[in-house]
Structure 1
Amino acid sequence: LHDIGDTLGAFNHPDIAAAIVKPFVSPENHWMVEKHGLFQGHYFFHYLGVDRNVRDQFRGHPNFERTAEFCEKYDQTAFDPDYDAMPLAAFEPMVMKLFAAPKSSVYAGPLVKE
Structure 2
Amino acid sequence: MDIHDSAEARATFTAMENGTAQDWAIIGGHYGDFARGLPDRVLSHLRLLDGDFGGFPIDRMQHSLQCATRAHRDGRDEAYVVMALLHDIGDTLGTYNHPDVAAAILKPFVTEEVHWICQHHGAFQGYYFFHFLGMDREAREAFRGAPHFDACAEFCAKYDQAAFDPAYPSEPLEFFEPMLRRVMARPLSSPYAKAIAA
Structure 2 matches for 1:24-63, cutoff 5 A?
A: 24-63=109-148
Match of 1:67 among 138, 152, 157: 152
- Does residue 6 (structure 1) correspond to residue 84 (structure 2)? The answer is no
RMSD: 1.4
Measure how far apart 1:97 and its partner are.
0.8
Which whole-Å CA distance do the structure 1 matches of 2:167 and 2:137 have between them? 24
Asked if the contact 1:77/1:83 (under 8 Å) is kept, the reply is no
Tell me the CA shift for residue 86 of structure 1.
2.5
Which ranges of structure 2 fall in alignment gaps of 5 or more residues?
A: 1-85
Q: CA deviation at 1:77?
A: 1.4
Which residue is equivalent to 2:83?
Answer: none
Superposed CA offset, 1:45-75 (max 9, x none): 0110111111011112110111000011111
TM-score, scaled relative to structure 1: 0.90
Residue 22 (structure 1) aligned with residue 104 (structure 2): no
Counterpart contact for 2:117–2:152, Cα < 8 Å: yes
Aligned partners of 1:75, 1:103: CA distance in 2, in Å? 25
More deviation, 39-48/72-81: 72-81
CA distance in 1, matches of 2:166, 2:131: 21
User: Secondary structure in 1 aligned to 2:127?
Assistant: helix
Question: Percent identity of the aligned residues?
Answer: 60
The higher radius of gyration belongs to 2
SS at match of 1:79: coil
Size of the aligned set, in residue pairs, is 113
Q: Which among 75, 78, 94 is matched to residue 179 of structure 2? A: 94
Q: TM-score, normalised by structure 2?
A: 0.54
User: d(CA) in 1 for partners of 2:134 and 2:142?
Assistant: 18
Aligned structure 1 segments of 4 or more residues deviating by more than 4 angstroms: none
Deviations 1:88-113 (A, max 9, x none): 22211211111111111121222335
In structure 2, C-alpha distance between the alignment counterparts of 1:38 and 1:19, rounded to whole Å: 17
Which residue does the alignment assign to 2:27?
none
- CA distance in structure 2 between the aligned counterparts of 1:46 and 1:64, rounded to whole angstroms: 20
